[in-house]
Chain A
Amino acid sequence: MADVPLTRSERRAQRRIRRFDNPWLNPKLFWGVGLLVAIVALGILGRMFWDPEMVFVGSGLPKLPPPGFENLRGQTGTFAHPLGTEGSGRDMLALIIIGAPNSLYVGLLASLIGMSIGIFLGFTSGFVGGRTDDVIRVLSDVMITIPPLLILVVFQSAFGDVTLTLMALLIAGFVWQSPTRLIRAQVLSMKQSGYVQMARLSGASTWHIMFREMMPNLVPYLFGSFIANVTTSIVTAVGLEVLGLGPQRIPTLGRTIYEAINAGALIQNLWWWWGIPTLLLAVMFIGLLLINLGLDEVSNPRLRKLSV
């Protein structure tokens, strides 16, 4: 072929084909990771370039709007508090710089612990079978039907003030069921597959079959399940915080919304107080959703499209 310049549609087709070749290069994954990285960057850069001490009460005048807006008292916003302040004069920007990474941290930690429990129980159940399998299966089925928020409300009220890590641990107790079921099903079907039988014929130990033969093939599923769990964990954590439970002294997005609702921010039209944390949560969830869709494309080649 000569050096005929490609038309636009041809170039687009080529890009699609490249993307088809390397599924990790898909735009959904790219944007999803980008949004989450932006939130983490907000936490890191914010601490460097903004004063995190302003999360304390009385850092400024209370209920100041962002610059260019006016609150009910007729005060206009200043650039000292670019996102305004909340009811007790805490700076909103400092609040989200500290709060947003906290919410993400609870989600990731809870999901990580939940996945580890799920991997362990799923493999045990699928491999050992018999009575052990029955117990684990029934346990995870029962746990799925119990609404986690109900139990957690009771737990958290009993614990009173909890740390972020303790909250993550409590939530982890409710996100191990679906990875357990997923891995158990995969292990059961893989156990019959030719390559596992070949490995048994080769004198492989159970450990080798689990972690060297089966695990690598589970990676896409594990990733997908992990991300879905992060979403569930954040939703649960925020749910508890909005109810006024969870950590009392550490700023989180959920707690900020709780305080806003409590102080009547909705009727006083203090939209920046509840609106900004909500927006950040939305960005976080959209990021996680995009990552999940992107991973789906990686693990399921049938979703990849060559033509539009």
Chain B
Amino acid sequence: MRPLIIEDSISIAANTPGFAVIVANSSLRNLLNVPFPAKGKLLAVGPTTGLRLDLTVGGRQVCSLCEPEVATSVQDPLQVINDDFYANEGDLIALEATNPTGGALTLRYRLQFDPVVTEETWAPGMEFDVFAQGFTDTLVMQRGPIAVANATNDQQLMDGTKFSRMQVPGILRVLMTQSAIGMLRQLLIETDRISPPSTFPITNRIPQDPFDSTIEGIEVPKGELQMLQVSNNSGGSLNVFWKTKFKKLAP
């Protein structure tokens, strides 16, 4: 079986919320549903900071308010947003972009679905649930730049996000960068301090996986609050970029 690959660039008008990306290209409208049980991958870049993406597959959100890296072309694996989510046959792919800026911007993206079945084990229309086979999604949040004023202690980065408290247990991975040297980060799960205040990469971009990884393999029990905090006592305002990958341990 062959993978399904959707690659496109599309201009999004200024001040546009929730723009349906795939539907907007008439030649891609017949690719709105995943044709076979598959593992998905999303890569995207923006021309400047500001664009935000949400990806929902079969009603399950797998990328939430993800801000793509500033670059001219999509490069695998540098600009992978999420490469670990799953879909059943017929699941609707809904990629939405928000452009809150005053100028039109171009989103460049690639969505790939690799089959997790073979022609010998599966035929179209056959009842098959990938999640019953033990596959689980990874949920990705990717934000930045977020300004952190001087003399800020423990600014909560995940405040106001939909998925800071997950209703399934999972394994959390955190990638972070800062715009210039001077910030410290720490991670708390409920009241447990998982990682003490430590510095993190100074690459001034949306984190690239795996280069900007800073915390890995943190088990998060069901319903517990994830708190990613930064402190800035550098003498001036700085910006932080962060990405969390939450591998669900249950569908």
Decide whether A and B assemble into one complex: no
A residues whose Cβ falls under 8 Å from a Cβ of B:
none
